[in-house]
Structure 1
Amino acid sequence: MRTNFTLIIGIMCFILYTSLFVVQEGQRGIVLRFGKVLRDRNNKPLIYNPGLHIKIPFIEKVKNLDARIQTMENQADRFVTMEKKDLIVDSYIKWRISDFSRYYLATGGGDVSQAEVLLKRKFSDRLRSELGRLNVKGIVTDSRNQLMTDVREALNNGTSGDDDELLATATAADNAISSAVARVEHYYDDTNSSQQTVNSNSMAALGIEVVDVRIKQINLPTEVFDAIYQRMRAEREAVARRHRSQGQEEAEKLRATADYEVTRTLAEAERQSLIIRGEADAETAKLYAEAFSEDPSFYAFVRSLRAYKNSFKGNNIFVLSPESDFLRFMKLPVKKVVSNHQ
């Protein structure tokens, strides 16, 4: 009897354990009954908030979905601008689940990787379309913020009927999203439940809301980057050559001005020195004239001595007559005879 009681208690504890489930903070729970999403009295999907809940064991299963904002990094891809120029764009997307029931059905049981594949395809197509409408200047300036806003709105609300160019080209992303939406629509039709009308070309049809779209980095392709680098280098070298030639021209002007100033200064100095030397020579001659005018015979004697000094330097030979006037001061003086008759 005691053994049976223990067995019953164990079975009850096991049933109670399998009947309880916990939804963690940052998650939402969906209960599946025979593979169908459990609904309330209003035929709306039941979404369980964080906390402790009860389910029917062995019949109902719980699928926890992440309700937090998630980040999807996109691999850098090549895009073409309005000017037919290639750009390498690196971007990321912030998204979260807005409709857990739709998300679960569209992604085949809440597969995050499948959701990101669909989101990435749609984002790449939309970004390619938006970048094709702008030039490089518009992409790297303030127009980029508007570009990101337009892409986010297009992903959330779908492509409008005015975008004929985008609608004309059916992409793989549109086909994949259409297949996922068809599964959701088929499920709602089978359950005869009312649903809010959404654009089948939007991420809302998959139960996804794009919170933010950002471009991290814009680069040029390697071949274009090298070509632009070489062109910029050639332009800078041309500017450097122009500056050097202008500098050389200015240097020649300064050098010519300096040479002119030096020549003019030297000429002026030479002129002043000649004037001063001439005035000094004139003053010297004047002084000599004044000095020697007092005794002309003494002046003649001094001049003759100077002539003797300059003439008899070295081993010079002169042939002169003894009666030459040049040697008059070298003759012995003549004695005067005094008469005794007085």
Structure 2
Amino acid sequence: MRVIFAGTPEFARVALERLHAAGLAIPLVLTQPDRPAGRGMKLQASPVKAFALQHGIAVAQPRSLRLDGKYPEDAAAAKSAIEAARADVMVVAAYGLILPPWVLAAPRLGCLNIHASLLPRWRGAAPIHRAIEAGDAQTGVTIMQMDAGLDTGDMLLAAGVAISEADTTGRLHDRLAELGGRLIVEALQQAAGGRLQAQAQPAEGVSYAHKIDKAEAAIDWAQPAAAIARRIRAFDPAPGASATLAGETIKLWAAQALPDAGGAPPGAIVAAGPAGIDVGCTPGLLRVTELQRPGGKRLPAADFLRGFELPPGRRFD
């Protein structure tokens, strides 16, 4: 089976690595154009591109796939490359470009998407973040036959994983990436044998994982402590939850909800010690156990407090 792979970040690279290790023919990889990154803002290849080049796989980086869009020359070149690849299927994982109808119809078996949720729960751009933020007990990966809708295609394979109270988006991402890589290999093996069965998504239980906005990183202390703790985990490693303290924007990386013993005002610091910094919420207390000052490192609360005094009466904005 000849497979075109379309993906960009680390989640997609894991899937590409599994497909390559399974011995599938991959004549072409599509990935986003190189982006500036790091302190020097130098152009940096995506994880998918780096893997493809390391293994001698042809790479195309169109800015768009729309033949009638802003970059028709990119789309035309990509169309030629896709046609020349003579692929049976295209596997898509966190690619970052919308696939127009001509792409969906190009491979014999169409386009299969590795989606990091149990559809129809959390269609959209940020399913891992939103599952943690919402307090879901379970998520997973769905291999989906792509259509013109937003994650609305038929389901082909799915497997679930539990979400623990210690899971951050980073930790859960890694587990789901491994699961996605295993499932897509299994799906293509079943497709090769004519055993892959499609199932329409249920009409009930649809939710949308909207893209994370940086403005969401600011903590609202009038929210319940349990909800804030989930958001801190959901926004680790990016964009990171934040709050203003004594004029500084402090990143909050780990916290746990505590029972509200005294009804402290939202944002008020009730106690600060080696175990953490207890902050009033509505309701509950939030014990923040890992923090970071601008330009500094992520530190346990005990180390953070050695360089940041918190006298009585101090509060987060």
- For Structure 1 versus Structure 2, the TM-score category normalised by the shorter chain is under 0.3
Structure with the larger helix share? 1
- Rg comparison, structure with higher value: 1
Higher relative contact order (CA 8 A, sep 6+): 1
TM-score by length of 2: 0.24
